[in-house]
Structure 1
Amino acid sequence: MAGLTLFSANSVWASDVKGSDVPAEPPAQVAAKPLRAEDPKAVIRFAKTGNFDSDTVVRIARNLAKKPYVALNDPLPASLAKISYDEYRDIRFQPESAIWKAESLPYQMQLFHRGFYFQDLIEIAIVEGNKSRHLSYDPDLFSAGEVLKQKLPTEDIGYSGLRIHYPLNSTEYFDELFVFQGASYFRALGKGNAYGLSARGLAIKTADPAGEEFPIFRAFWVEKPTSDTNLIVVHALLDSPSVAGAYRFSIRPGENTRMDVEAVLFPRVELSKVGLAPSTSMYMHSPNGRHTTDDFRPAVHDSDGLLMINGRGERLWRPLANPRDLQVSAFVDNSPQGFGLMQRERDYVNYQDLEANYERRPSLWVEPVGNWGQGAVVLTEIPTQSEIHDNIVAFWKPRQPLAAGGEFRFAYHLSWGASPAPVENSIVVSRTSSGRADIAKPTPKRLFVVDYEVKGKRPANMPVAKVETSAGVVSNIVIRDNPKSNGYRLSFEFDPGEVNLAEFRAELKFDEPAAAETWLYRWTL
């Protein structure tokens, strides 16, 4: 695993550790706190006070890419530069100081302090009409308890990110809706969800032996919402040694929270190992893969499968794995209709975790806008022994590299929720499990069981199952009704013989047209 980084999003995101879901007081009871005046000595590079239009961030990114990359050096004051996890947790944004709280608007914004893993200075501005206003750091927005002994600085040290609250689950309660913090990572929730997987602005050199490059959102411009719509818009400036870019996120909360993403990239160098619309998740084990873990819980994962609808309309389901060795899979396609990391298992009894709430983790569905051309959905699975590490990455890799000095525009929809992907009138894989089929050999046969659920009208006739393998021998293929899932159960045995890797493909064939998912799986010894 040389050169790979496991991003510990599940354990260190400030939004996880601060208890951010605070009930909102009625606006009439809250006195508006004026924003702090700009520090004339502060160095503001990007999110400046001034004019703003729809192309402002694009112009900044275009000009930035014309120059050699310069890593911004804005060190924290010495008193905060090396604080511990517990000390960082002790710095809390004061909910009563939330931006827009006193204005009867549907959204409230809170800010993250710099420190611990989140060292970079991130600039933030508020946009109202055609004007932007730099949001200066204000220590009065934060409080600290008994753990942090240091005093908070008074100079404009910026922030490390932002989070937006909205009454997603109740009109009386402003829930945390989405977060931007850490490199180009961000997360969002649908109704009833708890934080799980993350998205990123861009992936570069994922699983590269020389190491991955992590672009960062250097600055944000947040458009002030209005009282007559549930739309909120966030602009972001992306930067890294290889590329600069401008992003616009148009966000509407709901049962499935929707983000419309528009991006413009300006590569400084040729991007041959780039991933568009990347998502990052955690998979440790399930009934399908417990050989690497010893855990009292039946399953531990933020996502259990990769769903793809390719350019031909075929639905492909690939269960996730926690392999012994790093593995990368590429699913070649032309103009994909959608892909995403799904959390399909929604019953607590299948996790038995009273704290993690894995059954509430959102799925994330990516729907490209326009023709993305030839390329591949790439899935990277990294071995892990801990659930605090995000070890799963999925993205779209264009076949043609993005040329240095060019300008590349793309757009896509992100849907976060319990079931954001289309499933109507289809037959979906609801569960994959496996175990030893015999004890007669040093490398025994494996038994695979795949359960399908019918969404919509049930076909009149039983399907015929077709199972193929790239190596080894498949036998004893059985398909039967499964009344527990309103669907079917497919089982088969696999004899690996002398091989230690095999690719499976299983299809259900019906007499009448039926959109059944194709099951894909990579078995490794």
Structure 2
Amino acid sequence: MFLNVFKLVLHRRALVLALTLIPCIPSLAFDFSTVAKKAKQLADSSYKEPQKNISQGLANLNYDQYHQITYKRDKAYWHAQNLPFELTFFHQGRQYDTPVKINEIASGRPRAIPFDPRAFDYGSNKLTSQDLRHLGFAGFSVHFPLNAQKTKDEFLVFLGASYLRAVGKNQAYGASARGLAIDTALNSGEEFPRFVEFWIERPSAKSRQLTIYALLDSKRATGAYRFIVKPGDETVTDVKSQLYLRENVTKLGIAPLTSMYFFGENQRAPVEDYRPEVHDSDGLSIASGTGEWIWRPLVNPKRLLVTSYALSNPTGFGLMQRDERQSSYEDLRSRYETRPSAWVEPTGKWGSGRVELVQIPSPDEMNDNIVAYWVPDQLPKPGMPINFDYRTSWGKEAQQHPPLSWVTQTRRGQGMPRKPDGSVALYIDFDGPIFKKLPRDTKVTLRVSADANGQIVESHAYPNDATGGWRAAVRVKRVDDNKPVEMRGFLQTNNTTLSETWSYILPVD
């Protein structure tokens, strides 16, 4: 018996010695590849429709009632740690009827952030304990001392489907971005993918950027995303994405931007309104990658308008708010002049495809009726990865100007006011540094064209003494009043281009 015990002791010592000699293998830290694997696993499995989990009381809240539910600022995540970034959360209710999982990553390891109804202020809403059972978050917002060192301002929001929006310094929310758009403006109907789970890295005490991971899911696509967010005068989100298709799609919209255009300088208000303009964005800007810049003023059409620009490896596109003068809006509540421009800049080469612009009729300013995105010509087979990386900048439009000159406004009027002949007059103002370099007697011309439904009656360009730029005037007639007219024009001298390309669609009245 003594011999057996002795052998057992020796065996245990040998086992301990062997274990001490095995090198420590650290657990893998959470990173983008972790989310990409989850996206691939989702794509390889059948789609599961998200389950609604809110009570009838929460579902029946009206707009004002829902927005009375706010997260208590003293309960903000990381507030007690006095970190530069803080998180607050959105409550479920109304259309936000399925929860979103939100996790914190600390020391490379994720852990769930639990929902706690005690962290919310419910205002005057009369909700029962039954209404608040088994809930989760609808989304979250990020705060940072953007405008003043002693105050943490909300500057970034993820809420609803795959929507996010951000602002730069001294700005108010306007245009939004999305993770992905599928079959937008097709008769088959649009599919809205959702961010179903987030992982947010805990910042350090000196952090000036925040890393957010997101998992996207929908009936026909899944995706992994990483957002590196840098707030400032211009807030920047660097986006890395890897997508998988479950099924073939007709149209895949990459880096979608969404905005609102009700009326403006080129389209009068449908009814009497004291405000000259009402819009979050006034144009689509495109840097083609060949040196050409394109500007398309937005419209609120009477019929759905879908137009596109075929390109190869564009250097950028965005929905811009070029007019930043308060006198152009005169709305002291909405402050449209403070809405940011949203500019998408591809990282690397995106290949061939098109920037597509969708303009939807809207009876008021409550609807986001403008969408722009990149549509690649080639898509992988279901199950194969596709990567698109890009940077979205939220800030003043001047930060993304063309180098020579650009359109500052497009105004529309009757072609022959005294003797109406059915023509339309368009006045386009250009401004930019190139005009300061031109001798006063330089001959500048407008090169303008229209499609088969438009007849250019006359056109000319002349100095704008009020601004120091140039003004172009065009008079055009329709061939068929029931069809739109596509027009293009730019300034030139001696066959040298002086401006971006003004690309305009004259919609059906």
TM-score (normalised: structure 2): 0.90
Q: 1:326 aligns with which of 284, 304, 312?
A: 304
Determine the structure 2 residue equivalent to 1:459: 438
C-alpha separation in 1, matches of 2:271 and 2:253: 30
C-alpha separation in 2, matches of 1:458 and 1:93: 54
CA contact (8 A) 2:490 2:498 kept: no
Deviations 1:130-171 (CA, angstroms, capped at 9, x unpaired): 111101111111122223343475645210000001111111
Q: Which has the higher contact order (CA 8 A, sep 6+)?
A: 1
Which 10-residue stretch deviates more, 444-453 or 75-84? 75-84
Taking a change above 3 Å as real, the CA distance of residues 174 and 402 of structure 1, as seen in their structure-2 partners, is same
C-alpha separation in 2, matches of 1:198 and 1:399: 25
**1:160 counterpart SS class:** strand
Per the TM alignment, residue 290 of structure 1 is displaced from its structure 2 partner at its CA by: 1.8
Which 10-residue stretch deviates more, 453-462 or 218-227? 453-462
CA contact (8 A) 2:54 2:131 kept: no
C-alpha separation in 1, matches of 2:480 and 2:31: 63
1:70 and 2:21 correspond: no
C-alpha separation in 2, matches of 1:53 and 1:345: 40
C-alpha separation in 1, matches of 2:29 and 2:136: 21
Per the TM alignment, residue 348 of structure 1 is displaced from its structure 2 partner at its CA by: 1.0
Q: 1:176 aligns with which of 145, 151, 154?
A: 154
CA contact (8 A) 1:273 1:401 kept: no
After the TM superposition, list the runs of 4 or more consecutive aligned residues in structure 1 that deviate by more than 6 angstroms: 440-443
Q: 1:112 aligns with which of 90, 103, 112?
A: 90
Paired AA for residue 108 in structure 1: E
C-alpha separation in 2, matches of 1:51 and 1:80: 38
Determine the structure 2 residue equivalent to 1:488: 470
Paired AA for residue 455 in structure 2: V
Per the TM alignment, residue 425 of structure 1 is displaced from its structure 2 partner at its CA by: 3.5
Paired AA for residue 310 in structure 1: S
Per the TM alignment, residue 524 of structure 1 is displaced from its structure 2 partner at its CA by: 2.3
Within 5 A, what are the aligned runs for 1:106-255?
106-151=84-129, 155-255=133-233
CA contact (8 A) 2:32 2:226 kept: no
Deviations 1:459-482 (CA, angstroms, capped at 9, x unpaired): 333421111111332133121111
Within 5 A, what are the aligned runs for 1:302-451?
302-419=280-397, 421-423=399-401, 425-438=403-416, 444-451=422-429
Taking a change above 3 Å as real, the CA distance of residues 68 and 106 of structure 1, as seen in their structure-2 partners, is same
Deviations 1:371-430 (CA, angstroms, capped at 9, x unpaired): 111110000000011100000000000112342121111100000011265326420100
Taking a change above 3 Å as real, the CA distance of residues 51 and 370 of structure 1, as seen in their structure-2 partners, is closer
CA contact (8 A) 1:122 1:218 kept: yes
**1:58 counterpart SS class:** helix
Paired AA for residue 287 in structure 2: I
Taking a change above 3 Å as real, the CA distance of residues 291 and 231 of structure 1, as seen in their structure-2 partners, is closer
C-alpha separation in 2, matches of 1:190 and 1:519: 27
Determine the structure 1 residue equivalent to 2:72: 94
CA contact (8 A) 2:344 2:392 kept: yes
C-alpha separation in 1, matches of 2:228 and 2:498: 32
C-alpha separation in 1, matches of 2:174 and 2:338: 8
Paired AA for residue 472 in structure 1: G
Taking a change above 3 Å as real, the CA distance of residues 475 and 122 of structure 1, as seen in their structure-2 partners, is same
C-alpha separation in 1, matches of 2:343 and 2:400: 9
Determine the structure 2 residue equivalent to 1:40: none
Within 5 A, what are the aligned runs for 1:472-483?
472-483=454-465
Per the TM alignment, residue 97 of structure 1 is displaced from its structure 2 partner at its CA by: 0.4
CA contact (8 A) 1:201 1:278 kept: yes
Determine the structure 1 residue equivalent to 2:488: 505
**2:400 counterpart SS class:** coil
C-alpha separation in 2, matches of 1:475 and 1:287: 22
C-alpha separation in 2, matches of 1:76 and 1:147: 15
Paired AA for residue 239 in structure 2: V
TM-score (normalised: structure 1): 0.87
CA contact (8 A) 2:253 2:375 kept: yes
C-alpha separation in 2, matches of 1:166 and 1:341: 25
How many residues align structurally? 476
C-alpha separation in 1, matches of 2:485 and 2:325: 31
C-alpha separation in 2, matches of 1:54 and 1:502: 46
Taking a change above 3 Å as real, the CA distance of residues 419 and 503 of structure 1, as seen in their structure-2 partners, is same
Point out where structure 1 has 5 or more consecutive residues left out of the alignment. Answer: 1-49
Deviations 1:184-241 (CA, angstroms, capped at 9, x unpaired): 0000001111000100000001001121100000011011111223010110000000
Per the TM alignment, residue 516 of structure 1 is displaced from its structure 2 partner at its CA by: 1.3
Per the TM alignment, residue 102 of structure 1 is displaced from its structure 2 partner at its CA by: 2.0
Taking a change above 3 Å as real, the CA distance of residues 424 and 207 of structure 1, as seen in their structure-2 partners, is closer
Which 10-residue stretch deviates more, 386-395 or 271-280? 271-280
**1:101 counterpart SS class:** coil
C-alpha separation in 1, matches of 2:318 and 2:363: 24
Taking a change above 3 Å as real, the CA distance of residues 137 and 173 of structure 1, as seen in their structure-2 partners, is same
Taking a change above 3 Å as real, the CA distance of residues 226 and 159 of structure 1, as seen in their structure-2 partners, is same
CA contact (8 A) 2:343 2:400 kept: no
C-alpha separation in 1, matches of 2:419 and 2:384: 58
**2:137 counterpart SS class:** coil
Per the TM alignment, residue 343 of structure 1 is displaced from its structure 2 partner at its CA by: 0.2
Taking a change above 3 Å as real, the CA distance of residues 250 and 441 of structure 1, as seen in their structure-2 partners, is same
Q: Identity, % of aligned pairs?
A: 37
Determine the structure 1 residue equivalent to 2:21: none
Determine the structure 2 residue equivalent to 1:14: none
Determine the structure 1 residue equivalent to 2:23: none
Point out where structure 2 has 5 or more consecutive residues left out of the alignment. Answer: 1-27
C-alpha separation in 2, matches of 1:326 and 1:421: 31
Taking a change above 3 Å as real, the CA distance of residues 468 and 160 of structure 1, as seen in their structure-2 partners, is same
**2:42 counterpart SS class:** helix
